Chains A and B, each alone.
Chain A
Amino acid sequence: MAETYIARSTAIAARLIGGEMMIMSAVDSTFFTLNEVATVIWHSADGQTPLAEIIERQVCGAFDVQPERAKADADRFVAELSQHGVLLVSDRPIAAAPSGESPASPTP
């Protein structure tokens, strides 16, 4: 089965506030807040690491969640964000990784 790669789009506004990632799509102004697990996936979306590996290492390794459940949640999360241009999805590594690398500004 083909791998899935995800990368953060630069067509967004994003900031980490109180441990939650706030994201607004510059494409359609849809606003999202990501929970702790989704925020981890977001930070790992470098376009180079397969989604399955992100789930295994970053999600299942750090949170008390079954792999099937984690995969289902991650698939839904990726589908929704990609629909609004917030995440880029491909079946091969995404070469042009986003240049805006500061969505993880620390919470004051």
Chain B
Amino acid sequence: MSLLAEMNEKALALGVPLSVHLDLTYRCNERCIHCYLDHDDRGEMTTAEMESVLDQLADAGVFFLTFSGGEVFLRRDFFHLVEYARRLLFNLKLKTNGVMIGDEEARRLRELGVEQVQLSVYSHREEVHDAITKLPGSLKRTVEAVRHLRAHGLKVTIANVLMTANSFDNGGVISLANKLGAFYTVDPTVTPKLDGDTSLLSLRIPGEELHEVFRDERVVNNVEEFCAPPTKPGADVMEGYPCSAGHTACYISPYGDVYPCVQFPLPTGNVRRQNFLDIWRGSPQMKEVRSIQIKDLPVCSTCSHAGSCTRCPGLAFMEGNMRGPSSADCEKSFQRTGIPTANMALRGASPAARLVQIQLPA
């Protein structure tokens, strides 16, 4: 077991929130067509409030901290908060669109010991990327930012959200990332808006295209292994937890609301009114999320994919039941392996299920 895996196990056993995703703002200088946020400022935490949250997170044992948004560089106190967080010795990662990063900003980030910067690139083609961000010239500026960050020796990841508007461009983005010396990560999941609006889901790429993405060795490395049929889930899987949300990780909004994860909009408390650790340890909602084991999932516990599915409890929650299936992940499991999930079979939604027309006599 790696040291990091050991650390995770220890944090899980001790109830330590090892990773926190903190959105500094929801304001943004891009208007991405798939974004799940409302970009108006509805009362962001002040600098002093942010400092207090960071102090509390350090005291709670948080090691991995992500600053995201919105666009983090839109906060006037951004570098102050980075400096403050680094003084508290967090392992700090930033998520940004990079359009405000020049040479000086990159130099400061390196100097402050930021671990990694993740930037979203939707396409290697300006007309596609800029049409998604709705900011003319944004691809050029983001690529320039990557160059500045790499020139100062920062670790950079290019995140490529795939949707209908750019589904055939991931190869071009991979090549771009290689050329720039950046890591590449792909995410084929468009999520509903935080207010529950599901209109964005029409942007999700269709299953057939997902099938192709999962067979691209530049994306998944070992296709045979990645697309292998699921193995029968054992007792260890059934006793396990769906993901780290609420167990060793959580999310804090710019308004101080604490959620199990950025994709799990179940309010558990607010750091403006309560101490972070009181929410983390005592919130009934956090405790409920924490109590759910795979065996408690009525449909998913019967599914052959239970041991390998990427089921997101937050997406399941947004579909109406945190113990239910996440249909986006059902689709991924199906497109990855060709084997329908229990949920698909139940709903008669899989091609295999539709083919069953003859009932054999008993």
Residues of A within 8 A of B (CB): 10-18, 20, 22, 24, 26, 29, 31-33, 99-100, 102-103, 105-108
Binds A, one of B58-66, B204-212, B253-261, B317-325: B58-66
- What total of chain B residues lie within 8 Å of the partner, measured CB to CB? 31
> Which single member of A32, A99, A106 contacts B59 (CB below 8 Å)?
A106
User: Would you list the 4 A-B pairs with minimal beta carbon distance, nearest first?
Assistant: A13-B91, A26-B113, A15-B63, A14-B89
> Which single member of A18, A22, A31, A102 contacts B88 (CB below 8 Å)?
A102
Nearest-neighbour CB distance to chain B for A45, whole angstroms, equals 14
- Docked Cα-Cα span, A13 to B89, in Å, equals 5
Q: What are 20 of the A-B contact pairs (CB < 8 Å)?
A: A10-B87, A10-B89, A10-B113, A11-B113, A13-B63, A13-B90, A13-B113, A14-B89, A15-B63, A17-B7, A18-B10, A18-B13, A18-B16, A22-B7, A22-B63, A31-B3, A100-B88, A102-B87, A105-B58, A108-B61
Q: Which of B75-119 contact A (CB under 8 A)?
A: 86-92, 113-115
Contact B60 A33 (CB under 8 A): no
User: B356 near A: Cβ within 8 Å?
Assistant: no
User: B277 near A: Cβ within 8 Å?
Assistant: yes
- Docked Cα-Cα span, A37 to B17, in Å, equals 25
Contact B4 A31 (CB under 8 A): yes
- Docked Cα-Cα span, A18 to B12, in Å, equals 11
Given contacts A100-B89, A102-B88, contact A15 B61 (CB under 8 A): yes
Nearest-neighbour CB distance to chain B for A97, whole angstroms, equals 13
B7: which A residues are within 8 A, CB to CB? Answer: 17, 22, 31, 33
Given contacts A13-B89, A100-B86, A100-B87, contact A26 B115 (CB under 8 A): yes
> Which single member of A29, A32, A99, A108 contacts B16 (CB below 8 Å)?
A108
Given contacts A29-B115, A108-B277, contact A17 B90 (CB under 8 A): no
User: B15 near A: Cβ within 8 Å?
Assistant: yes
Q: Which of B4-21 contact A (CB under 8 A)?
A: 4, 6-7, 10-11, 13-16, 18
Name the residue on B nearest A11 (C-beta). B113
B281: which A residues are within 8 A, CB to CB? Answer: 108
Q: For the A-B complex with A13-B113, A17-B61, A29-B115 known, give 18 more contacts whose Cβ atoms are closer than 8 Å.
A: A10-B86, A13-B64, A14-B89, A15-B62, A15-B63, A17-B63, A18-B13, A26-B91, A29-B155, A31-B3, A100-B87, A102-B88, A102-B89, A105-B58, A105-B60, A107-B16, A108-B59, A108-B277
